[in-house]
Structure 1
Amino acid sequence: MTIQIPNSTSKQRSSRALKMIFARHETEIYVGIIVVITLFVLILAPLLAVFLQAFAPHQQNAANGSTWFSDLFGIFERPLWRQSLFNSLQLSLFAAVIGGFIGTSLAILRYRIHFALSQLMDASAWLVLILPSFVIAQGWILFSSRAGIANQWLGLSFIPDMVFNPVGLAVVMSLKAFPLAYLAVSSGLRWRMEDLTNAARLSGASAGRVLWSVDLPLLLPAILSGCVLIFIDVIGDFGLPAALATTYRFPTLTYAIYVAINQSPIRFDLAGILAFYVTAILLFAVWLYFLILRRSRFDFLTARAKSALPKKSDKAFWANLYSGIILILAVGIPLGASLLISVSETMPGAQTDFALTLQHYRTILSDGNRFIDAFINSAIIAAWAACGSAVVAFFAAYVLTFSNFKLNRLIDLTCTLSLAVPGVVLGIGYIFIWNSPLFESLGLHLYGSPVLLGLAGAAGAIPVTIRILLGAFAQLPQNMLSAAALNGASFSRRVITIALPVVATALISATLAGFGSALFDLAINTILRPPRLSVLPVYVNRAFEMGDFGSSTAATFMAGGIAVVIIRFVDKVANLILKQCYPQPSGKD
């Protein structure tokens, strides 16, 4: 006799599993909605406010009979605006070409030839990339101006005319931005197909012909990425024009925006129109980049691809010489000039003999605590911005990686778009949003508050932090989270016990990277700083504008040194705590 056992237990398990799956997706949908709302407040709303300010009619327009259409195209009629637009485009295009060439050539040498300065080149590329542009620009001004080191101390009278012209400034900016191309092309050179190169050489092609007809076409996506990133970085840069304002008249769009909101009366409408042009140019550059890539296929790697290893060559001397010249121009001159001024008792052009001193460092430490207050204020704001950006980026990366949330493309697009938006434009958008009568009526008085600096700093750091975390989340198998959900683990339990241990190291790095970027953000701090709040980038830039070069450079090196110590200390402590919370397996059964 056969006894039929009811399968109600298996049905109950299946039903419970389905409920767990639905509950998991429901939670991720809620998290995705919160991420979208946060990104809208931090990034999308300010950008939309800039566009609306550029297109919406204004009371001033009605008074003088003009329209938003005439104001929008008035950039071609106003001499300063037209010159700013021309200067920005000229500077960015030249810097993209020059910086793209420098970065591409150095990357090819780095992964094709074994030479002594290759490791130093890697470290220097990251150093130049992290340094604020206004620090690099100030160093070049101290070296190249007519009252600078080159002309007064070294007798190189041709240097000022060679640097202070559109092409010379483009070279300076390309030396600041070339690491973007260097890193982009380096990523494309880590793997290579020897079959293609060998086939070309067997057909009689020389090494130069192989490089031109095989290697460079295959590297086109990486090369274009580097050039577009340099173009975006330069056209949205505020540090160079802010530093040049004391020495050389070279208006750009970003500096014209700053002038519009610092003149009397304040012209937010003009700032909105200029910010619209900056954003439109950046979006066009990104669109053109993707359009070019869609015209051809570049997926050439197969299972026969090999890791690229530099080989010994008789051209190592020329590789060392070329990379050494770039290192001197990109790092040695600007940082060396600033360091020399910071420890010099006399400025260039003085009639007294040169002498070393630490007086400038003593001065900034005993000037009524202004430097200390500025650094502490900036460090606190940067810390809040870094933590906020890390939290938002963590959950945004989680939703992008492990969910089918319908607005994932919007999240990804917003984080990518904010990478191309200059700090000046973002700051203007925050003024338009938080200075509006709507928030005043609701009692939200954030305009003129340090909180706004923290929000803007977090918005500026999100693109960097999310890219770091996306790479870490990609290493976590989704079936681990699915298995935990089927066994009844809640969303918070899965995040704390599975996701967080895997990406904890990347989360620490992302947070510290956000802290460093927010600490020295000149554009955001200049535009949104409350009148009575002293912050580090404004303190340094104002000392430079007033001609106190010794204090300005001393404050830069002092703040940079303290920041490095803080980052290293937090990194060590955080990793020790991480090891205590999530101990590694000993490897024994």
Structure 2
Amino acid sequence: MWRLGIWALLLAPSYLEALGWTRLVEKDGVLAGLFGSDVSWLRDLVMGPAGVIWVLGSRGVPFAFLAVSGVVRGLGRDFEDAARVHGAGPWSRAKIMIGLLSPGLWSALAIVFAEAISDYGVASTLAAGAHFPIATFALAGAVTTFPSDYPTAAAIGWLLMVLVALTMLAQRAATRGKSYAVLSGRTRPVRVVALHGWRKPAAFAGLAAFFLLALGVPLLGTVFASLLGNFGTLTAHSLTFDAYRQVFERADLLAPVLLSVRLAVITATLALAGGVLIARLLSRRGSAARGRTAASLDLLLLAALGLPAIVLGAGYIFTYNLPLVTSLGIQLYGTLTLLVIGLLAGALPATSRLLTGSFAQLQDSLLVAARVHGAGPARAWQSTVLPLLSGSLLWAWLLAFADRLLELPLAAMLYPPGQQPLSVAVTTLVNGYDFAGGTATLVVACLGILLVIGVALGLFRLLTPAGWRRWEHR
């Protein structure tokens, strides 16, 4: 149930949660309509830095969970048992475990920081309505105004990348010169400990409160927007399911859905293949030249995470529309290929960062032992790496698929004429004042993605050996 909540929070666009809070606390919003009271104190709290920090922070929890959970599954219990034997107390054991989880924790920190600093949905909704300016909103304004102020946009983009690079430098300084390889042929799986006494209700209450604030509010705003019609009021007589019925009856929405699914599958598969290669390179320990190469690649990946999607899309347009590029026979402008390249550029850095912590736990002796016993390179990976990391690989693919399916800035700037992706089609409905149809389509799309995730996890459980599932669940 909690993992489903994580994915639901991951799939909901950031502007959806921001609009949900806005719809809840505004003067004629849900609280005012339900209770007939002015909640000015809550509105002042939400429409400001505290609200922006909460939305961006709650949006980062799924990324942190996916980055750390793979490391936790492969940690094993040998180190904790050794600490118990030597008389270590709870705090000492926790300190040891946190140290061993450092690759995943630092990866989570870097990913969440980059996602928060490059987010545009919150900047254009909650922060803009609260007159709390954020860099990405100023950057988008410099690009979209006429005449466009490209020097200002470029300066802000470089500033964002420099800030992300500083985070990467802090990560490398914290983990430099240390080894976190804990997976070997003798590693025992993590022992699941059931909570007893007051810990169980406390954990349940904490998780329930978090998901209520992070998911309940945007869900409330979205559902009311889709059920009230385009200009409804908050009364029982105005609630209707006409918008959901039209989603399945309108043929013009079927083509965008199929196109977005196809693009998301292609992009997620390519991002997983590239992410495995990059994560393996970043986690290997070797010569100084290899270390410098990995450091440079790590810097580029984190810089790409901090680059706003709207700037990335504009860069693709300017580059592939140049006469020089056209004269070289590169005809990518206005094609789906360019859109796939843009989507892949946005998915590859996050996928590789998510897999880095899991690959850092692999000891090279596993592959060496397989090769000594006569296995070729492919067979060695299949018999050693794949069983241990299958769960992490599956979650990385699902993350890339779900994220790219509802991606808006790149899709809006790079889609070919007459081939609208799902996010562009939804935005067109909302901009055309079809609020009910747009929100209903978005709800249906999120439910469809959750269905795909459930099917993928079910097939993984049915088709993979029991040993693979042991590592995936623990």
Q: TM range, normalised to the smaller chain?
A: 0.7 to 0.9
Q: How far is the alpha carbon of 1:455 from its aligned partner?
A: 0.6
Q: How far is the alpha carbon of 1:345 from its aligned partner?
A: 4.8
Residue type matched to 2:59 in 1?
Answer: K
Residue type matched to 1:357 in 2?
Answer: T
1:454 counterpart residue number? 340
Q: Secondary structure at the match of 1:309?
A: coil
Q: Given the alignment of the two structures, is residue 131 of structure 1 paired with residue 131 of structure 2, yes or no? A: no
CA contact (8 A) 1:142 1:148 kept: yes
Residue type matched to 1:477 in 2?
Answer: L
Provide the C-alpha distance between the structure 2 equivalents of 1:459 and 1:566, rounded to a whole number of angstroms: 23
CA contact (8 A) 1:344 1:356 kept: yes
Could you say if the C-alpha distance between residues 558 and 442 of structure 1 is closer, same or farther in structure 2, counting changes exceeding 3 Å? Answer: same
Match of 2:44 among 161, 164, 169: 161
2:245 counterpart residue number? 362
* 1:428-464 deviation digits (Å, cap 9, x = unpaired): 4433432334312213132333221101111222234
Q: Given the alignment of the two structures, is residue 563 of structure 1 paired with residue 449 of structure 2, yes or no? A: yes
Q: How far is the alpha carbon of 1:277 from its aligned partner?
A: 1.2
Could you say if the C-alpha distance between residues 245 and 217 of structure 1 is closer, same or farther in structure 2, counting changes exceeding 3 Å? Answer: closer
Provide the C-alpha distance between the structure 2 equivalents of 1:215 and 1:500, rounded to a whole number of angstroms: 31
Q: How far is the alpha carbon of 1:547 from its aligned partner?
A: 4.8
Provide the C-alpha distance between the structure 1 equivalents of 2:156 and 2:372, rounded to a whole number of angstroms: 49
2:326 counterpart residue number? 440
* 1:383-408 deviation digits (Å, cap 9, x = unpaired): 22223323434555677789989666
Q: Secondary structure at the match of 1:261?
A: helix
Could you say if the C-alpha distance between residues 225 and 157 of structure 1 is closer, same or farther in structure 2, counting changes exceeding 3 Å? Answer: farther
Q: Given the alignment of the two structures, is residue 326 of structure 1 paired with residue 232 of structure 2, yes or no? A: no
Return 256-265 or 121-130, whichever deviates more. 121-130
* 1:296-343 deviation digits (Å, cap 9, x = unpaired): 9898x9x99985735423354444333322121012221233234323
* 1:107-129 deviation digits (Å, cap 9, x = unpaired): xxxxxxxxxxxxx4444234323
Return 222-231 or 139-148, whichever deviates more. 222-231
Q: How far is the alpha carbon of 1:174 from its aligned partner?
A: 1.8
Q: Secondary structure at the match of 1:477?
A: helix
Cα RMSD between the aligned structures? Answer: 4.6
Q: Given the alignment of the two structures, is residue 178 of structure 1 paired with residue 61 of structure 2, yes or no? A: yes
CA contact (8 A) 2:14 2:55 kept: no
1:477 counterpart residue number? 367
Could you say if the C-alpha distance between residues 306 and 558 of structure 1 is closer, same or farther in structure 2, counting changes exceeding 3 Å? Answer: closer
Could you say if the C-alpha distance between residues 379 and 260 of structure 1 is closer, same or farther in structure 2, counting changes exceeding 3 Å? Answer: farther
1:57 counterpart residue number? none
Q: Given the alignment of the two structures, is residue 240 of structure 1 paired with residue 122 of structure 2, yes or no? A: yes
Residue type matched to 1:141 in 2?
Answer: T
2:468 counterpart residue number? none
Match of 2:193 among 278, 286, 309: 309
* 1:479-505 deviation digits (Å, cap 9, x = unpaired): 4357658xxx7xxxx54x554576395
What pairs with 1:301-450 in structure 2 (closer than 5 Å)? 309-345=193-229, 349=233, 353-367=236-250, 369-396=251-278, 409=294, 410-411=296-297, 414-415=300-301, 417-450=303-336
CA contact (8 A) 1:346 1:354 kept: no
Residue type matched to 1:152 in 2?
Answer: G
Q: How far is the alpha carbon of 1:289 from its aligned partner?
A: 4.0
Greater radius of gyration (CA): 1
Residue type matched to 1:480 in 2?
Answer: A
Provide the C-alpha distance between the structure 1 equivalents of 2:451 and 2:61, rounded to a whole number of angstroms: 27
Could you say if the C-alpha distance between residues 197 and 549 of structure 1 is closer, same or farther in structure 2, counting changes exceeding 3 Å? Answer: farther
Provide the C-alpha distance between the structure 2 equivalents of 1:140 and 1:341, rounded to a whole number of angstroms: 13
Q: Given the alignment of the two structures, is residue 503 of structure 1 paired with residue 386 of structure 2, yes or no? A: yes
Could you say if the C-alpha distance between residues 466 and 322 of structure 1 is closer, same or farther in structure 2, counting changes exceeding 3 Å? Answer: closer
Provide the C-alpha distance between the structure 2 equivalents of 1:220 and 1:578, rounded to a whole number of angstroms: 27
Q: Given the alignment of the two structures, is residue 148 of structure 1 paired with residue 34 of structure 2, yes or no? A: no
CA contact (8 A) 2:426 2:438 kept: yes
Provide the C-alpha distance between the structure 2 equivalents of 1:217 and 1:389, rounded to a whole number of angstroms: 29
Match of 1:256 among 132, 135, 138: 138
Q: How far is the alpha carbon of 1:554 from its aligned partner?
A: 0.6
Could you say if the C-alpha distance between residues 219 and 386 of structure 1 is closer, same or farther in structure 2, counting changes exceeding 3 Å? Answer: closer
Q: How far is the alpha carbon of 1:556 from its aligned partner?
A: 1.0
Provide the C-alpha distance between the structure 2 equivalents of 1:292 and 1:313, rounded to a whole number of angstroms: 37
CA contact (8 A) 1:345 1:354 kept: no
Provide the C-alpha distance between the structure 2 equivalents of 1:319 and 1:261, rounded to a whole number of angstroms: 46
Q: Secondary structure at the match of 2:259?
A: helix
CA contact (8 A) 1:253 1:274 kept: yes
Provide the C-alpha distance between the structure 2 equivalents of 1:547 and 1:264, rounded to a whole number of angstroms: 25
Provide the C-alpha distance between the structure 1 equivalents of 2:280 and 2:167, rounded to a whole number of angstroms: 29
Provide the C-alpha distance between the structure 2 equivalents of 1:248 and 1:464, rounded to a whole number of angstroms: 30
Residue type matched to 2:219 in 1?
Answer: L
2:471 counterpart residue number? none
Q: How far is the alpha carbon of 1:518 from its aligned partner?
A: 1.1
Q: How far is the alpha carbon of 1:425 from its aligned partner?
A: 4.2
Residue type matched to 1:148 in 2?
Answer: G
Q: How far is the alpha carbon of 1:569 from its aligned partner?
A: 5.0
2:469 counterpart residue number? none
Identity %: 25
When the two structures are superposed, what TM-score results if normalisation uses the length of structure 1? 0.61
Provide the C-alpha distance between the structure 1 equivalents of 2:419 and 2:134, rounded to a whole number of angstroms: 27
Alignment size in residue pairs = 442
Q: How far is the alpha carbon of 1:133 from its aligned partner?
A: 2.0
What pairs with 1:91-130 in structure 2 (closer than 5 Å)? 120-130=1-11
When the two structures are superposed, what TM-score results if normalisation uses the length of structure 2? 0.74
